[in-house]
A and B are shown apart, each in its own frame.
Chain A
Amino acid sequence: MTVTREQLTSCDREPIHLSGSIQPNGFLLVLDGQRFSVLAASETTAVYLERPLHQIFGKTLTELFNAEFVQSIEERLPVVDQPFQARWLLTALLPGVSATEEFEVVAHRTGAHLIIEFERAVGAFNTELLNAALYQVVANTQSLGSAEQISELAVREIRRITGFDRTLMYRFDADGHGTTIAEVTNDRLPSYLDLRFPASDIPVQARRLYAMNRIRIIPDVDYQPSPIVFAGALNETAQIDLSGSILRSVSPVHREYMRNMGTLSSMSISVVINGQLWGLISCHHAEPRFLPFRLRSACEFLVQILSTQLAAQLRASELSKAIQLKSVQQRLLTHMAAEDSYIEGLTRYPQDLLELTDAGGAAVIVGDEIRRVGNTPSVEEIRRITGLLERRGHEESFATEQLAAFIPEAAEWSASASGLLAISISRLHRTVVMWFRPELVKTVKWAGNPAKPVEESNDNRIQPRHSFAEWSEIVRGRSASWLQEEIAAAAELRMAVLEVVLKQAEEMADLANDLRSANEELEAFSYSVSHDLRAPFRHIAGFSQLLLEQEATTLSPKGIRYINTIVDAATFAGQLVDSLLNFSRIARSSMSVMTVDLHSVFQEQWEDLMSSEGSGRTIEFGLSEMPTIRGDLTLLRQVARNLLSNAVKYTKNKAVAHVTVSSRLQGQEYVISVKDDGAGFDQAYEGKLFGVFQRLHRSEEFEGTGIGLANVRRIISRHGGRTWAEGRVGEGATFYFSVPATVFRALDVPDKPTDKP
């Protein structure tokens, strides 16, 4: 018989605990729970009890054997009539049977039935070996640190006492998929270490059975199943639950799988932790191999000890993982607190951010900014994920092992982002942290090399290589699952970030308060400067002037010059105070924004300038087309005045000077330039040009307080623009400023109305 994979997937529906047959190395009696009379029996019963089944049906145990034998059975049964699991009662010769063969008598109760099994007590075992193994296990488990190490000890010791060719530990994951995590084998059977197999290989109800009936043996896969035969009317209707049976016959699919693996006998012991089937210790032999019942019990006992140890170890590793996550969290918090922005703190130490959720890559998204660390999708792809999260709405965290289920094209990014864990820190100002995990298949290796072409002629037969292939297919596009504690750690990080943000917001508020009071102080200071500092300068200038007039006739020419100098100095000091006040006023005063036509602003200022400072000069003035922008007219006039006045001032040594004002649209802004062919400046000092009271020329060369360009920069920056300059000594200078064009572009309609059809 050949079982195909199609049949295997239908295994989930096969009622295997009602198989209705047993393995032939013993016999089974189904008794009425009250009367102990035989309701059904395996066909083998006739062989072992040396009489036909119809002479067995309906008989009580006492009738079958003798009172003494039944008494020894009864006194070993639990007193209460409750269901109980398979329990060894005694090893005994069967009374009234000619064969001198001992049987292990094992009983369990299910429903109204008492089931007694008689297994041939063949084969001896070495008690010393068993004791040594138990000693090894008990002595060593305490010192073992991981599930893998404990599993290795388990398979090694089980193999030592059972003599199977290969023993291995399967571990089930949350989805029921299995992995071989420990193995000891010899050259007769291949290694399956690291083998993955899909949940379908061990169907759901088989796993349920394994959690209940913890040890099973198939001494010879080529056995002839012995059906359970029912007495009379019970035959068709009654079903006997054989899940607790030790002799139960296994599914033909399972036997086929064994043959395909080249294992003629097998035994498996369940590892149950907290009532859940955590794994299986599976023993295989290339030839038929029988293990006495009591040795099997010893193995079960040994595995129970190990299960306890495993449970403790898993608990400890959960705790240590929790502690580790806490310390990673703590480090991230420290990083965040140390940086001005928590984004900086999160991304500066990628290792910590990735370790928090055991991810391969991470991204921090704030507004339109995306910072990535490790192995992540592209910025554009991350934007798509952000979009998905935003569409999903009010979730604080989101975790998936299969992003492609939500974004189909994510299948192409599976190498970096099959798995996604995202936390939304703030929806008001989009702030998201994402962790990515690569596709699991890409992270898994199996020595069996699943990529190698299948060599068997009949490749439809089920076998481990196919299992791996199918498992790979099932988990394709999926990452390893996000653990609850990892999702919790991410959620805690969210709270921590919120706290940091809150704290920073509070600090900002404090800072704003400090700034406000500092600003008020500054204002009070400027006010007193404005009122009190100007007065003495006025007095010096005024009285010097009066002195000059009063004593004009008596003063020497030198004295007159001195007094004139005093007047000039005091006047200049007054101007400095005035311009400084003006400069501070530009920053403080509120802007009244309106539509400003820069062309007329420059034109007016130029005309005004040429009738004052520039009168008598020959300057060729060029003013190209200028944009209309949104801004404060008074302030923009100052800009135009300053730039033009500079151009006039620094070309004063030219007989015919040229000043050109032009504009261009560059991206989202207008760039205005004022170009002259005057004294110019050394480009190296460009950075100083726009500072307060910065001068690049000696004051006797070109007059001025040195605050004009500082004003220009301040005004332009209040309009959301930038200022810069280019120049060469002796060849002139060009001053640039930009203003945003975006606000007004929407209104850039053609002057002429469009033709109507």
Chain B
Amino acid sequence: MLKPILLVEDNPRDLELSLAALEKSKLANEVIVARDGEEARDYLFRKGEHHDRSTGLPAVVLLDLKLPKIDGLELLAMIRKDEVLSNLPVVMLTSSREERDVINSYKLKVNAFVVKPVEFSEFIRAIQDLGVFWAVLNEPPPGSLRVFRDGSF
């Protein structure tokens, strides 16, 4: 029984590359994709089209900074404010290496801040490392959702 990874990414090319990287990393975890901040929020808070999903939390949220509707930092703030979600591991996975983005993310208690490398092999390595650490090595907070690769609980 593995916890899913929630990947929040609006850019289709980045999404494809990230999924390819996750694929290459041979992780058994399910990857749930949200295409904007709102969808990610609905998933996490079980609202809208995700209102009837089963309870449980992902192993980690890979969160882009710039997102339509609700951006990464706003979503991170919501997660940290929520009683149930507050301990959820969140990793910023972004193009930005701006100091203020890094600072603001850490102020909101992000668990890691990863700048996507331009070089693809490095990108793969980064994604792989992330997946292994957060989805396999890290012991998640209680209440995390566990799913099997086939989607059963």
- Tell me the A residues contacting B by CB distance below 8 Å: 526-527, 530-532, 534-535, 537-539, 541-546, 567, 570-571, 573-575, 578, 581, 585, 589
Contact = CB atoms under 8 A, between A and B. Distances in A.
Contact of A545 (B13, B98, B120): B120
B120 A541 contact: yes
A581 B20 CA distance: 28
Contact of B17 (A532, A542, A585): A542
B150 interface: no
Overall SS of chain A's interface: helix
B116 interface: yes
B66 interface: yes
Given A539-B14, A545-B120, A534 B95 contact: yes
B95 A532 contact: yes
B120 A578 contact: no
Interface string B61-95: 00001100000000000000000000000000011
Contacts of A526: 98
B51 interface: no
Nearest to A585: B99
Interface size bracket, B side? 20 to 34
A676 to B, nearest CB: 29
Interface in B1-34: 11, 13-14, 17, 20
Given A537-B118, A546-B20, 6 more contacts: A530-B96, A535-B13, A538-B123, A539-B14, A546-B120, A578-B118
Contacts of A581: 97
Max chain A Cβ within 10 angstroms of own Cβ: one of B66, B94, B116, B119: B119
Interface in B95-133: 95-99, 116-121, 123
12 contacts: A526-B98, A531-B98, A534-B95, A538-B17, A538-B123, A539-B14, A541-B120, A542-B17, A542-B120, A574-B119, A578-B97, A585-B99
A535 B93 CA distance: 12
A44 B123 CA distance: 133
A555 B113 CA distance: 37
B17 A543 contact: yes
Nearest to A548: B120
A567 B121 CA distance: 11
A574 B94 contact: no
Nearest to B123: A542
Contacts of B20: 542, 546
A531 B120 contact: no
Q: Which of A534, A538, A585 has the most CB of B within 10 A?
A: A538
A531 B96 contact: yes
B97 A541 contact: no
A537 B13 CA distance: 11
A643 to B, nearest CB: 24
Contacts of B98: 526-527, 530-531
Contacts, number: 62
Given A538-B17, A543-B13, A545-B121, A531 B94 contact: yes
Contacts of A589: 99
Contacts of A534: 95, 116, 118
A635 to B, nearest CB: 13
A543 B95 CA distance: 17
A531 B97 CA distance: 8
A539 B98 CA distance: 20
A519 to B, nearest CB: 14
Nearest to B64: A531
B120 A575 contact: no
B120 A567 contact: yes
B118 A531 contact: no
A544 B118 CA distance: 12
Contacts of A545: 120-121
Contact of A571 (B66, B96, B118): B118
A440 B95 CA distance: 79
B11 A535 contact: yes
Nearest to B99: A589
Given A534-B118, A546-B20, A546-B120, A539 B13 contact: yes
A578 to B, nearest CB: 7
A409 B17 CA distance: 85
Interface centre among A546, A573, A581, A585 (most CB of B within 10 A): A546
B118 A530 contact: no
A570 B118 contact: yes
A542 B99 CA distance: 25
A545 B94 CA distance: 20
Contact of B65 (A531, A542, A570): A531
Contact of B97 (A530, A539, A544): A530
Contacts of A535: 11, 13-14, 95
Q: Which of B13, B119, B120 has the most CB of A within 10 A?
A: B120
A539 B97 CA distance: 17
Contacts of B118: 534, 537-538, 541, 570-571, 573-575, 578
Contact of A541 (B95, B99, B119): B119
Residue from the set A534, A539, A542, A567 with the largest chain B CB neighbour count within 10 Å = A542
Contacts of A542: 13, 17, 20, 120, 123
Nearest to B118: A574
Nearest to B116: A538
Nearest to B12: A539
A368 to B, nearest CB: 39
Contacts of A575: 118
Contacts of B97: 530, 578, 581
Contacts of B116: 534, 538
B99 A538 contact: no
Nearest to A536: B13
Contacts of A573: 118
A463 B98 CA distance: 93
A537 B118 CA distance: 7
A578 B97 CA distance: 9
A581 to B, nearest CB: 7
Contacts of B119: 541, 571, 574
Contacts of A567: 120
Contact of A531 (B17, B95, B121): B95
B24 to A, nearest CB: 9
A527 B98 CA distance: 7
B17 A539 contact: yes
A449 B94 CA distance: 95
A543 B13 CA distance: 9
A491 B65 CA distance: 63
A87 B119 CA distance: 118
A585 B99 CA distance: 9
A459 to B, nearest CB: 91
Nearest to B21: A542
A365 to B, nearest CB: 44
A581 B99 CA distance: 11
Contacts of A574: 118-119
Contacts of B13: 535, 539, 542-543
A585 to B, nearest CB: 7
Contact of A527 (B14, B17, B96): B96
A463 to B, nearest CB: 91
Contacts of A530: 95-98
Contacts of B17: 538-539, 542-543, 546
Nearest to A540: B118
Contacts of A527: 96, 98
B129 to A, nearest CB: 17
